[in-house]
Amino acid sequence: MVKKIVVGSLVLTVVGGLIFGRDAVSYVRTGFTSVQESVRSNVPLEFEIERAKQEVAELLPEIRKSVTSIAQQQVEVERLTKAIENREKALAEQEEAIMSLSDDLKSGDEMFVYAGHRYSQSEVEKDLAERFNRFKIAEDTLKRERELLVSKESALASHREALESMLSQRKGFEVELERLQARLRTIEARKQISTLEIDDSQLAHVKGVISEIDKRLDVEDAVLAAEGNFSGLIPVEKDAEQEATEGIALRVDEYFHGRSAEATELVSTEK
């Protein structure tokens, strides 16, 4: 399988060289870059955001490593500071002893007593020379330790500043990613709204149903209004039956008496 891939690559290289000449490498590089950009542009944004979050989370081991390194440097600085303090105290005591021996030798005495023991001038001189030599070595060592302490303190301050910057940037990355994710959700919501299709026929149907209900209610209102025009009033009008029966005897009497009077008048005329 590997052999086929190698042979295929060689063939493509040879063919590309024959077709494009010395520009073949440029064409291949440009094509590869174009493919990379095409693939990257097709990766979902949600995936890219999650990938960025993962990379931010991967900063934690480096941060912990930096914290451990700073703690170790802090311990070294504290120990070196303590050692320098002890050495300064010891040098101060040695300086005092050296000055005391030197003053004793300047007195011109040939014998000296220290802590109940007798020492000759040559022994004191030898001891003073040894003390002075050790003092100068210790003083030089103290100087170098002070320089080392300054260097360590400077490095510690620099590392602390770098750690604070890293922590601040990491927090900034988290906030920025949250902002990008919120923006992505807003864009996705806008896409859904823009592509939303509403069934107009259903809207028209609902509108027609509402209109029909409104129309029927108008009819009911009209009926109730018409009935209300004659209801609830004092019944002034007389019933037709009542009108027909009232004064019937008088009207009958007038009717027949009228006929009798007409008949009498007719007979008189004929005579």
* pLDDT above 80 (res 100): yes
Same domain, 153 and 52: yes
Q: What is the mean pLDDT of the chain?
A: 78
Q: Give the confidence band of 247 by pLDDT, cuts at 50, 70, 90.
A: low
Residue 84 resides in a domain = yes
Same domain, 35 and 99: no
Kindly report, residue by residue over 188-228, the tens digit of the pLDDT.
888 877 776 666 677 677 778 888 888 888 888 787 777 66
Q: Give the confidence band of 32 by pLDDT, cuts at 50, 70, 90.
A: very low
User: Structural domain tally of the chain?
Assistant: 2
Last residue of a domain, one of 168, 194, 220: 194
CA distance 206 to 211: 9
Amino acid at site 254: E
Residue 33 resides in a domain = yes
233 vs 57 pLDDT, higher one:
57
Pick the most confident of 25-34, 138-147, 216-225. 138-147
Pick the most confident of 8-22, 66-80, 191-205, 251-265. 66-80
Asked if 83 and 99 count as a contact pair (C-beta separation under 8 A), the reply is: no
Q: Domain limits at 183?
A: 44-194
Give the pLDDT score at 144.
95
58 vs 32 pLDDT, higher one:
58
* Nearest Cα residue to 62 out of 167, 183, 181: 167
Same domain, 97 and 140: yes
* pLDDT above 60 (res 187): yes
Asked if 24 and 17 count as a contact pair (C-beta separation under 8 A), the reply is: yes
Write down the residue that tokens 């010395």 correspond to: 22
Q: Which residues contact 4 (CB under 8 A, 6 or more apart)?
A: none
* Nearest Cα residue to 169 out of 46, 16, 60, 26: 60
- Write the CATH number for 166: 1.10.287
Predicted TM-score (pTM) of this structure: 0.49
Same domain, 135 and 122: yes
The DSSP letter of residue 43 is S
CA distance 140 to 202: 97
Kindly report, residue by residue over 39-81, the tens digit of the pLDDT.
556 778 888 888 888 888 888 888 898 899 999 999 999 999 9
Same domain, 19 and 152: no
Same domain, 129 and 12: no
Residues in the chain, overall count: 271
- Reported as type and span, the H/E element at residue 270 is helix 248-270
Residue 151 resides in a domain = yes
Query: In the numeric block, which tokens belong to residue 128?
Result: 């003073």
Same domain, 38 and 48: no
Last residue of a domain, one of 175, 194, 213: 194
Give the pLDDT score at 221.
78
CA distance 251 to 18: 138
Least confident of 19-33, 48-62, 161-175: 19-33
Give the pLDDT score at 197.
65
Amino acid at site 163: L
Q: What is the mean pLDDT of residues 124-133?
A: 92
Grouping H, G, I as helix, E, B as strand and the rest as coil, residue 125 is: helix
250 vs 82 pLDDT, higher one:
82
Same domain, 59 and 75: yes
Residue 255 resides in a domain = no
182 vs 262 pLDDT, higher one:
182
Same domain, 182 and 60: yes
Q: Give the confidence band of 97 by pLDDT, cuts at 50, 70, 90.
A: very high
Same domain, 48 and 38: no
Cβ atoms within 10 Å of 101's Cβ, excluding its own: 20
Same domain, 112 and 123: yes
